[in-house]
Amino acid sequence: MKMILGLVLALGLVACSNSGKISGVYVRESDNQLLFVQIVKTDDGKLTGRSETVAILADGSIKDESFPLEGSADGMQLSLKTNVLFGMGPSFSGTISGNALTIVGDGGQAVLKRTTLEKFTRQKNSLSAAAKGIVATKDRAKNEADKQAFLKNLADDGDELETKLPQVFERLHQNVQAVLERTQKRHDAIAGNLKKLRAKRLIASPDDKISIEGDIQSEVGDMQSLASDYDATVSEVRNSYDELEAVVNSFKANCEKASSLGYAPLPVQCADAQSYIAKYKKTRAIVKDQFETAGTGLFPRSQ
């Protein structure tokens, strides 16, 4: 009951005049809570009934607590206790004055007005509707915040793509050219050495042929190592382009998601998402022609 009375701490008294009946329904209403007390006086002067508090919490949920009451009356002076599980709960006193019930307990003082169960039910329904309104408002605010965060991330991704993607393409293209040039130079040097050694072997003495054959095998090993290194580089470039493709496709998918959710305005880069994919495919085609195809010509057995 301390919780019940705590909800109405420091409320002012309301004076009303009406019949002197004790039995009835009494309610204290505020913007976000209801305090309800129902009292039934028996012929022997004993009191029974129940108390109920209904309140809207900060998150928009409803907290509804109800406890049985029992007590006694001396004229219009009441003495009541909450009958809770495992025994009696906090006690409080009350005074009936006209249509007003003033209750005083450890939690403070509250004034409730006589009403009907039907009206109390309507008040509870109104409180429930208000709580749903709070939840709906919070949901709208969260959805708007989520929307703005999504659009900001999308815009940041679009700016990064617009700025960095061409740079990445160019850097990859330059790296491919550099690798091709180095590999071609090294390939030609090894091939030239092999040609000279094989020609030398044709006119060499049997003893010299053994030494020359060792040199030839060494050059063949160097060529195989060069081919393996080239294959590894090709694989790395393929992985780089796969990662780029995933980034571009993810951006395009997020643009489509934002559009399907009705988010606006979309970043301008969303309109260019397809062109990014086209640029990616074009650049990858160049790499395939100049890098992978070149490797096939240099190292027919390694591809």
pLDDT digits (tens, 9 = 90+) for 91-141: 889 999 999 999 998 778 999 999 999 999 999 999 999 999 999 999 999
Report which of 49, 20, 21, 53 is spatially closest to residue 120, judged by C-alpha positions.
Answer: 53
Residues 238 and 245: their CA atoms lie apart, in Å, by 10
220-274 residue pLDDT tens: 999 889 888 888 887 887 787 778 778 888 888 898 999 998 888 888 888 877 7
Q: Could you give the angle at the alpha carbon of 160 between the alpha carbons of 159 and 162, nearest 5°?
A: 65
**pLDDT the model gives residue 298:** 76
Tally DSSP H helices, then E strands, for the chain.
Answer: 5, 8
**pLDDT the model gives residue 25:** 96
* E strands present in the chain: 24-29, 33-41, 46-56, 62-74, 77-84, 87-97, 100-105, 108-115
pLDDT interval class at 198 (50, 70, 90): very high
**pLDDT the model gives residue 56:** 95
User: pTM of the full predicted structure?
Assistant: 0.57
**Looking at residue 104, what DSSP letter applies?**
E
